[in-house]
Chains A and B, each alone.
Chain A
Amino acid sequence: MGKIAVSCEEPALDSRIDPRFGRAAGFLIVDPDTLEFSYVDNGSSQAMSRGAGIQAAENVFRSGAKIVLTGYVGPKAFQSLSAAGIQIGQNLENMTVRQAIEKFKAGDVDMASSPNRMGHGA
């Protein structure tokens, strides 16, 4: 299974999920089998007020992750991730990164076929 990028508030498995994809503090890039992880800072996207989702999608792409787990994805980020063949699990909130990975492994995360948030600076 490919690596999973989870939007998070802090660089730890027990960090809370940051439900915002584009404006997440960072991404934990997790190997779902071993739970080994690395951290990608997303500060470059947070600092932008437009195009944050596109920037975040580029950051995730560079990390090599094949799956994203997050809360909300806007239309531009969705388009970017889809174009790169990255699958998106959305509507995840109020849980830790570890819980999100477990939920995903149990097959309980809805994989998105369309963005769940309107774009433009939100």
Chain B
Amino acid sequence: MVEIVVLSGKGGTGKTSLTAAFAHLSYNHIICDLDVDAPDLHLILKPENIRTEAFFAGHKAMIIREKCENCGICQEMCRYGAVSEISGYPFIDQIKCEGCKVCVSFCPSNAIDFCEKQCGNWFQSDTRFGPMIHAQLFAAEENSGRLVALLREKAKETARQKKLDLILSDGPPGIGCPVISSLSGASVAVLVTEPTPSGRHDLERVADLCAHFRIPAGVIINKSDLNMAQADSIGKFCAQQGLTLLGRLPHDPVITHAMINAKAVTEYDQGEFSGRVAEIWNEIEALSGYKSIKLMNDNK
């Protein structure tokens, strides 16, 4: 089974729009939205939900006021500044609580509850391009790295059941916990960048991360005509770092128009831009060793 994860570091580089196009161009796959914090892929794929499951992760500490003897140990020991005093009693700020259980363990009056909490939901769905696994973390929740790992697990399970060979994932932004969770053990990372100082800077950091986890990575330079010199320099960077340059795409509003019409760009428009996206997908397949069977039949 091949697992391709599309990442960008910086947001807004066109990662999700391109993932949707790849989902349109490939076959025999399951699609996975690993950006559980701010998922957008469903806005294009319009999934039909067939299963919803609650996602529980971690615990939260809560003071049981009747038992509290106001000794102050919880406040003293909390490293996260989550315990403050409100009207003479300790109060645990649920947003700051890390769920470490230290206050619970050290409370001499057993006055702190430690309950498991629901952090979001995950969904199994069908889309016009194939099955999809996605999720929505509740507002301001953490543990998205855990949810990412769970989604990948579910995607693999479904792929095995349905005998699918490819997991295509829209990854989270950044380089932190959720990204590490989405990347480790994947077959190939596709890094979507843009020729801006931020795009370049973030590409370097995500590329470092791929190297750290020994994941082969390819790079797409989107909006490459915004700054040709920077785009060329990114091309050079790729060559130096052993990253495959999968292709360049121009700054084209067609990608936004497709999004507004809830279509993958390759589905919405058969013009030059879409042609280039299809060429890039062929490069990705070559890099990952995956070959869409249906695609080969179609092409004769």
Contacts and interface: CB of A to CB of B under 8 A. Distances in A.
B148 interface: yes
- Ranked nearest first, the 9 interchain pairs of A and B with the lowest CB-CB distance are A122-B185, A49-B146, A49-B149, A121-B149, A121-B181, A122-B184, A120-B184, A118-B213, A120-B180
Contacts of A118: 184-185, 213-214
Nearest to B215: A118
A121 B180 contact: yes
- Which label, helix, strand, loop or mixed, suits the secondary structure of the B interface? helix
Interface in A105-122: 117-122
Contacts of B180: 120-121
B145 interface: yes
Contacts of A122: 149, 152, 184-185
Contacts of A120: 180-181, 184, 213
Nearest to B57: A49
A50 B178 CA distance: 11
Contacts of B150: 49
Interface residues of B, number: 16
Contacts, number: 37
Interface in B163-198: 180-181, 184-185
A23 interface: yes
A57 B152 CA distance: 22
Interface string A85-122: 00000000000000000000000000000000111111
A39 B213 CA distance: 33
Interface string B242-282: 00000000000000000000000000000000000000000
Contacts of A50: 145-146, 149, 181
Contacts of B153: 23
B149 A119 contact: no
A48 B146 CA distance: 8
Interface of B: 57, 143, 145-150, 152-153, 180-181, 184-185, 213-214
B119 to A, nearest CB: 11
20 contacts: A23-B153, A48-B146, A49-B143, A49-B145, A49-B146, A49-B147, A49-B150, A49-B181, A50-B149, A117-B185, A118-B184, A118-B214, A120-B180, A120-B184, A121-B149, A121-B152, A121-B180, A121-B184, A122-B149, A122-B152
Interface in A39-77: 48-50
B148 A121 contact: yes
Contacts of B213: 118, 120
Contacts of B148: 49, 121
A105 B148 CA distance: 39
A67 B149 CA distance: 28
A117 B215 CA distance: 11
Contacts of A48: 146
Nearest to B182: A121
Given A50-B181, A121-B181, 4 more contacts: A49-B181, A50-B146, A121-B146, A121-B184
B37 to A, nearest CB: 15
A106 B185 CA distance: 31
Nearest to B148: A121
A119 B145 CA distance: 13
A49 B154 CA distance: 12
Nearest to B146: A49
Nearest to B180: A120
Contacts of A49: 57, 143, 145-150, 181
Contacts of B146: 48-50, 121
Nearest to A46: B153
B145 A121 contact: yes
A23 B146 CA distance: 13
A49 B57 CA distance: 9
